[in-house]
Amino acid sequence: MARLAISYKELSDLPGSLRHEFPRRAQEIYQAAYNRVYEVCMASENLYDHQAIAETAHQAALFAVRMEYEKDKQGCWRRAPISEDMDKEKIPS
């Protein structure tokens, strides 16, 4: 069975909504995290549900972005302030 390879080789390959919404560095974080999770999941012989793998990779990539960025009051993504304590609201439940 041939595996469908879905990855984002260039930032321009990201969905338009992400390219429009995320600053460039956030796009780079998303791209790297998505590709890595997708690659690891595809390497597992037990996972063949491409839709589920893509969704898992997307959620992991969003989590990676949220570790460095947050939305401001206007809904724009900005670098999150650095602090010693992790913002518990950034952790998806």
List pLDDT tens digits, range 51-73: 888 899 999 999 999 999 999 99
Contact 37, 71 (CB under 8 A): no
Does residue 87 surpass a pLDDT of 80? no
Mean pLDDT of the chain, nearest integer? 84
Distance CA 15, CA 48 (A): 23
Q: What pTM does this model have?
A: 0.79
What is the average pLDDT across 67-80?
92
Identify the helix (H) or strand (E) that includes residue 52.
helix 50-66
Identify the helix (H) or strand (E) that includes residue 19.
helix 16-21
- Topology of domain 15-70 in CATH is Rna Polymerase Sigma Factor; Chain: A (1.10.1740)
